[in-house]
Amino acid sequence: MSTVYDLLLRHCCLLRSPHSVETVDIGIQAGKIAALAPQLDATAALELDAQYQLVSPPFVESHIHLDSALTVGEPRWNQSGTLFEGIEIWRERKQTLSLEDVKQRAISTLKQQAAQGVLFVRSHADVSEANLIALQGLLAAQEAVKEWITLQVVAFPQDGIYGSPQNAELMEEALKLGADVVGGIPHYELTQEDGVKSVHRIFELAAKYDRLIDIHCDEIDDDQSRFLEVVVANAIRSGMGSRVTASHTTAFGSYNNAYAFKLLGFLRRTAVNFIANPLINITLQGRTDTYPKRRGVTRVKELWQQGQNVSLGHDCVQDPWYSLGTGNMLDVASMAVHVCQMTGTAEIDACYDMVTWNGAKTLHIEDDYGVEIGKPANLIVLDAHDRYDAIRRRATVRHVISQGRLLVSTLPPQVEWQG
Ligand code: FE2
């Protein structure tokens, strides 16, 4: 007698790990992967034919700012295109934030992302305002969406932990309210000393409240911005390595090689994660250069080559720093291929892994991530044959299955040749 599943996917070209592809049927029962085999003798309430297309674990968005998403043009457009004009505009916009405003924009953005195969997201929440509205809005969104997408929230002091007298207290309050991750922005503290002090404080708070760390670190073209070495030293000394993430680190692309190679050597002693945000940093950085103009993205290829965990984030969707974007992680991977010159076959595949498995490692969700028997049934079916095809055509995600349920389906565009 054949088994009856809740959901059965036939003819899947399953990316089971970054190193293995198998042709299988997938049986899903009670929200979990129940069976994986070349030809399941089974029926189901819902049966889908993947037509031998790519089936993958969902995309992981490891770095986004949902509190500012969908505010482009409010109250004005960023005409210079710089990070610092973006911060000024955001400072004006956040005077009018309400909990409902933040929550609804976050949910709208998460829906855009989920429809494109993203089911795990880490968002920063600006905690530099006395009422902590951005944080509370994102925590409310986290609760509202938990049945279909997992959201981690970072307490992110946009104006610096020591930028104003109450900010250090607000950081701690944010952790008490339930922020999952301790954030920071040492290169935007008022002095270098404050920047170093802020990194030490972030590690103290993470230890005290048992949280992960994700620091906006050296997001500037200044080759003297060297807070990454402070993060690395703290990670080595505290043993917190894999619980620590350095986001952006764009100055790493401007360091001289003598210093960069020394730093890469130090990094071999710890498992710090890196997140690059190529869509945003290729547009924000290099704005004060004439020519040659720097790319302003961290050393993704070198970090990947030496085995550091590197993931990629979208960072912004239609906000004061980036007016474009739809939340599509294949756009992000494609931009990384270009900007970081990751054009070899293994390098293109690695860029796909940076928006899937590597992101899962950064978010510390590996135990529940991946299409394996017994794990939660989270997976996507792409209109693509393999990772290269998915990135090259920024393939449509045909089906998104979240916690065992078919969440959303999309038809690829149909070309009608009229000539
Ligand atoms: Fe960011």
pLDDT digit string, tens, across residues 127-169: 998 899 999 999 999 999 999 999 999 999 999 999 999 999 9
My answer on whether 306 and 215 are in the same domain is yes
Domain assignment of residue 417, yes or no: no
Domain assignment of residue 252, yes or no: yes
Given this model, what pLDDT does residue 130 score?
85
Given this model, what pLDDT does residue 361 score?
98
Q: Is the pLDDT of residue 30 over 90?
A: yes
Query: What's the CA-to-centroid distance between 153 and ligand 1, angstroms?
Result: 13
Q: Is the pLDDT of residue 13 over 90?
A: yes
Q: Is the pLDDT of residue 380 over 90?
A: yes
My answer on whether 75 and 192 are in the same domain is yes
Given this model, what pLDDT does residue 180 score?
98
My answer on whether 270 and 174 are in the same domain is yes
Given this model, what pLDDT does residue 400 score?
98
Q: Around Cβ 31, how many Cβ atoms within 10 Å?
A: 15
Given this model, what pLDDT does residue 129 score?
86
Given this model, what pLDDT does residue 160 score?
95
CB-based contacts of 160-163 (< 8 A; 24+ apart in sequence): 160/128, 160/185, 160/188, 160/189, 160/190, 160/194, 160/198, 161/189, 161/194, 161/198, 161/201, 161/202, 162/189, 162/190, 162/194, 162/197, 162/198, 163/128, 163/188, 163/189, 163/190
Cα separation of 375 and 34, whole Å?
Answer: 8
Question: Quick check: helix, strand or coil at residue 146?
Answer: coil
Domain assignment of residue 416, yes or no: no
Domain assignment of residue 300, yes or no: yes
Q: What's the chain's average pLDDT?
A: 97
My answer on whether 27 and 108 are in the same domain is no
The total number of structural domains in the chain stands at 2
> Residues 6 or more apart from 313 whose CB is under 8 A from it?
61, 62, 63, 64, 122, 247, 275, 276, 277, 332
Q: Is 418 exposed, middle or buried (0-12, 13-18, 19+ CB in 10 A)?
A: exposed
Name the catalytic one among 88, 219, 302, 416: 219
Domain assignment of residue 340, yes or no: yes
Cα separation of 255 and 265, whole Å?
Answer: 14
Domain assignment of residue 415, yes or no: no
Q: Is the pLDDT of residue 391 over 90?
A: yes
Contact 290, 377 (CB under 8 A): no
Query: What's the CA-to-centroid distance between 275 and ligand 1, angstroms?
Result: 9
**pTM reported for the whole predicted model:** 0.97
Given this model, what pLDDT does residue 214 score?
98
Residue 2's pLDDT band, with cuts at 50, 70 and 90, is confident
Domain that holds residue 382: 3-57+370-409
Average pLDDT over residues 400-415: 97
Residue 219 designated active-site:
yes
pLDDT digit string, tens, across residues 197-236: 999 999 999 999 999 999 999 999 999 999 999 999 999 9
My answer on whether 89 and 167 are in the same domain is yes
The CA angle 146-151-157, to the nearest 5 degrees, is: 140
For residue 391, how many C-alpha atoms fall within 13 Å in the half-sphere facing its CB? Answer: 23
Query: What's the CA-to-centroid distance between 322 and ligand 1, angstroms?
Result: 11
For residue 108, how many C-alpha atoms fall within 13 Å in the half-sphere facing its CB? Answer: 14
Given this model, what pLDDT does residue 5 score?
98
My answer on whether 221 and 275 are in the same domain is yes
Query: What's the CA-to-centroid distance between 267 and ligand 1, angstroms?
Result: 22
Question: Quick check: helix, strand or coil at residue 51?
Answer: coil
My answer on whether 258 and 310 are in the same domain is yes
My answer on whether 287 and 193 are in the same domain is yes
Q: Where are the alpha helices (DSSP H) in 18-164?
A: 83-93, 99-115, 133-145
My answer on whether 263 and 385 are in the same domain is no
Query: What's the CA-to-centroid distance between 414 and ligand 1, angstroms?
Result: 36
Domain assignment of residue 110, yes or no: yes
My answer on whether 264 and 352 are in the same domain is yes
Given this model, what pLDDT does residue 84 score?
84
Query: What's the CA-to-centroid distance between 115 and ligand 1, angstroms?
Result: 22
Average pLDDT over residues 329-336: 98
Query: What's the CA-to-centroid distance between 82 and ligand 1, angstroms?
Result: 13
pLDDT digit string, tens, across residues 47-92: 999 999 999 999 999 999 999 999 999 999 999 998 889 989 999 9
Q: What is the CATH number of the domain that holds 16?
A: 2.30.40.10
Query: What's the CA-to-centroid distance between 314 and ligand 1, angstroms?
Result: 9
Query: What's the CA-to-centroid distance between 252 and ligand 1, angstroms?
Result: 16
My answer on whether 65 and 53 are in the same domain is no
Q: What is the CATH number of the domain that holds 195?
A: 3.20.20.140
Domain assignment of residue 389, yes or no: yes
The residue whose two tokens read 């404080």 is: 201
Query: What's the CA-to-centroid distance between 245 and ligand 1, angstroms?
Result: 12
Contact 331, 392 (CB under 8 A): no
Cα separation of 103 and 78, whole Å?
Answer: 23
pLDDT digit string, tens, across residues 223-278: 999 999 999 999 999 999 999 999 999 999 999 999 999 999 999 999 999 999 99
Q: Is the pLDDT of residue 18 over 80?
A: yes
My answer on whether 301 and 384 are in the same domain is no
Closest by CA to 132, choosing from 114, 158, 106, is 158
